[in-house]
Structure 1
C-alpha cells in the first residue's frame, strides 16, 4: 500500500501531502493512502465537539495546539512571501482558550415545528442546530436553548433570523433581525423574556434598523477601567484575552510615543488604554462608535480627541499624520489600501498595524516597505479558536 505523508495545512485547513494532494481533516504527520483514508499521526487529535466538522464555526479541531500555532505562522509568512517581502521575526502565537469567545453571530430557521439554531455548515447556508459549543463563552451558550423558545414564537414557518450575542459589563446583549413583532402579546413576550434571563439588552430589527426593546441601563464594555457605550451590533475583539494580547503588542510597537493617532479606532480598544500615557487622536468612520468613545473620553477626562472620518473616502494626508510620533492602524478585513500610501510618506517613527486578514496586511506592508519602512516583528493572535481566521499585530519602523 502506497502512503503519502501530510506535511502542512493549506489556507482552508486541508492537509497537504508531500506529493501535493489536499486531504480534508488531515493533520501534519498523518499518512494518507491512495483512497484518501487517513492514518492519524502525532498531531492528530480527537475533536472535542460532536458537531465538528459539519459546523462551520470551527475548521481545525482535529489538530493539536502546536500544529494550530504553526498554521497561523505559516499563513502570515505565506502572505508576506506572496508580496515578495522578507519574513521578519514571527513570535509564538497567542491562542485564546476554548469557551472564551464573547461575541458571535448565529442563524435560526423555523423548520416544521422546530427551530434550528446555530452556525452555518461549512461553505453552506444550512444551519447546524448546536447542542454544544466549545468556543462560545458559557454565558452566551446558555442563551441558545432559551432563544430557541423565543424564536419559536417570533419566526414564521420557513423563515430565518440572524442573532448576534455579546458579553458586556451588564451581561448578555442580544440583537435579532429578520423577525416581525406584531400585537401586544408579542411585545410583552419580548419584555418577559429579557426580564427572565436578565439580559443587558434585547434589540430587534424588523427591517428598518435595530432598536432596543429592553435596556434597563446603558450597555457598556470596559477598556482599562473606562466604560464605553456599546452600540447595537458594535464591534468587540472576539475574546478578552485576545484583546489583551493585541493591546500589549500595540503598546510595545509604539514604544514611548507621546502623541498617537489611532486609525479605525472603533470603540477605543487601543486608544483608551494608551491614553493613560499619551495624547490620542482616535479616528473612526462609523458614527455610533465614534460618539460612544467621545462621550467616554469627555466623561473621564482621558486625553482622547475623536474624529468621525471615513478613511476609505478621505484618508489622512502625510502632513496630518506627520503631527504624531506613532500611528496605530486597525482596519477591517479589506485592509487600508487608501491610507497606506500617505503612511509610507509620513514623517513618523513607528506604526503598529493590527490585522484580521494576512493577505491585505501583506499588500499594505508592501506599500510601507517600498516607502522606506521595515517590519520589525509580528505577533499572531488566534482569537477564533480552531478556525482558519488569522489575526496579528505588527511593528513597523523606519529603515
Structure 2
C-alpha cells in the first residue's frame, strides 16, 4: 500500500511513459512500479532489467524495461484507446510477440566522427547517433555485417555527412542499399566486390541522390512469400520479422476462410496474395512491387490478377468490391480512408484489415461499422520488439440486412 508521498504506475502511455492513477508520468517505468513524490522509482514486478547496454539512449527501442506481460498489455491498451476514441470495442486477442533478435530489415545511419565510422540508430528525440556495439532486435545475420561495414564505409564517408543504410535479409543473403555516399573508380568497385563476397551480400546498391544503382548482384535477389519466390526490388517493404509475417498471414487466412475470390488491396510484394487460396485480385500503387508480384504469380502459375493502381487516388468502387467474397486491406500508416468509405456500403461478406497504426485503423473501422459491418476481433502482433509501434489484423463481417 502506498502513502501520500508515493503512487503506483498503472499503465504505459502511447509514447512509452508510465502513468499513475492521478495522471503523473514518469519515463522508463512499468506497471507496478512505485513513484515517490521526489521522482524516485522503485521497480515493481513487471520492471525488467533491459538486456541491451545502449538502452535507453538508443532510439531503436523504447520499452526494454517492460516484461512480456506488460509489453503485451501496452499493445492492447493502445488498440483499446484508439477504438474508444471512435466508440468501438471488440474482442482483442493476446498479442503475438516476435522474439528478440529476429528483425530481418532495418534502416540505420552511419557517420564519420573523430576518425571512426559510427553506425546505429539515432538517440531518442535527438539527431545524435548511437554507435551500436550490440543489438537485441536485429537478427544475428544483420548485426554481423555492422562491424565490416564500418571498415568499408571509412573509404567513402565524408566528414559531417551521414549515410543511410537499408538492410534486408533476402533468400540469397543480405540486401544492402546505402544512401548518401559516392563510390567511383576501380578501387571502389573492387572494395565493394570483396566486401560482398566476404559477407554474404546478395545485392549492394548505392544511391548518391539520383536513385539506386546496383553495384553487386550476381544472381537475382528474391524473397520467398508463402512458398513463392518473389523478385525483391531495392529497399522494398517487407514485414519486419518472419514470425510476425506468419502471425499476420494466419489472421488474414482466418478472416477470409472459405472465400473463393479475394481482393488484396495495398498488396505490396504479395505477403497475403500468395497465402490466399482461390482467385486473387492484387492492387498496388508501387510499380516495382506490383511487377514483382505479377512475375512471381505467373511463374508459379497462381490465379492472380495484378493491377498497378493507386488506391488513394483511384480506390476500387463499391460495384467492383461487390464481386469479391472477401477483401484484404493492408494500407500504410495513413490508413485507407478513401477505400474504406467505398467498402462500407459494399456486399463483400468479410474483410481482413491489417494495420500498423491503431488510430487510422479505428477511424476506418468506424466507417465500416457505420456502413453495416461488425468488428469481430483483433489480433495484435508485436513484431517491433520493445517499440511503441503497434500492428494488428482484424476481421469484419457484413451484418445481415
* TM-score of Structure 1 vs Structure 2, range by shorter chain: over 0.9
Stretches of structure 1 lacking an aligned partner (at least 5 in a row): none
Find the partner of 1:16 among 11, 14, 19: 19
Could you tell me how far apart the structure 2 residues matched to 1:243 and 1:250 are? 11
User: Which residue in 2 is equivalent to 1:375?
Assistant: 375
Is residue 65 of structure 2 the alignment partner of residue 38 of structure 1?
no
Q: Distance in 1 between matches of 2:92 and 2:51?
A: 29
Superposition TM-score, scaled by structure 2 size: 0.98
Alignment of structure 1 residues 139-158 onto 2, 5 Å = 139-158=141-160
Aligned mate of 1:65, from 50, 65, 68: 68
1:182 CA drift (Å): 2.7
Quick check: 1:75–1:358 contact (8 Å CA) kept in 2? yes
Q: How does 1:318-333 map to 2 (within 5 A)?
A: 318-333=318-333
Residues 112, 157 of structure 1: 8 Å contact kept: no
Per-residue deviation, 1:184:
2.1
Counterpart position of 1:359: 359
Corresponding position of 1:165: 167
Work out whether residues 266 and 284 of structure 1, in 8 Å CA contact, stay in contact via their aligned partners in 2: yes
Aligned-pair CA distance for 1:300: 1.1
Task: Find the residue that maps to 1:345 and give its secondary structure.
Answer: coil
Provide the secondary structure at the position in 1 that maps to 2:344.
Answer: helix
Aligned equivalent of 2:229, options 224, 227, 230: 227
Structure 2 counterpart of 1:84, from 73, 82, 87: 87
Cα deviations by residue, 1:82-121 (Å, 9 ceiling, x for unpaired):
1121x10000100000000000000011112011110111
1:123 — aligned with what? 125
Superposition TM-score, scaled by structure 1 size: 0.98
| Alignment check: 8 A CA contact 2:347 2:398 kept | no
Does residue 394 of structure 2 align to residue 394 of structure 1? yes
Q: Which of 25, 28, 32 is the matching residue for 1:29?
A: 32
SS of 2:154's equivalent?
Answer: helix
SS in 2 for 1:207: coil
CA distance in 1, matches of 2:15, 2:115: 36
Alignment map for 1:136-215 (pairs within 5 Å):
136-215=138-217
The runs of at least 4 consecutive aligned structure 1 residues that moved more than 6 Å come to: none
Q: CA offset at residue 193 of structure 1?
A: 1.2
Distance 2:123 2:220 in 1: 35
Query: How far off its partner does 1:185 sit?
Result: 1.3
| CA distance in structure 2 between the partners assigned to 1:392 and 1:77 by the alignment | 12
Distance in 2 separating the partners of 1:47 and 1:299: 46
Alpha-carbon distance in structure 1 between the residues aligned to 2:136 and 2:24: 30
SS in 2 for 1:374: strand
1:231-380 correspondence runs (5 A):
231-274=233-276, 277-380=277-380
Query: What is the SS of the residue equivalent to 1:154?
Result: coil
How far apart are the structure 1 equivalents of 2:51 and 2:210? 40
State the Cα deviation string for residues 304-329 of structure 1 (Å, max 9, x = none): 11000000111110011111010000
SS in 2 for 1:153: coil
The SS at the match of 1:116 is strand
Aligned-partner SS, 1:282: strand
Using the alignment, how far apart are the partners of 1:235 and 1:62 within structure 2?
29
For the 8 Å contact 2:206–2:214, the answer to whether it is kept is yes
Report the CA distance between 1:291 and its aligned residue: 0.2
Q: Quote the RMSD (CA, aligned, Å).
A: 0.8
2:112 maps to what in 1?
110
Q: Flag structure 2 segments of 5+ consecutive residues without an equivalent.
A: none
| Cα pair 1:326 1:349 within 8 Å, conserved | yes
Cα deviation for residue 346 of structure 1 reads 1.1
**Structure 1 counterpart of 2:58, from 55, 58, 64:** 55
**Alpha-carbon distance in 2 for matches of 1:293, 1:338:** 24
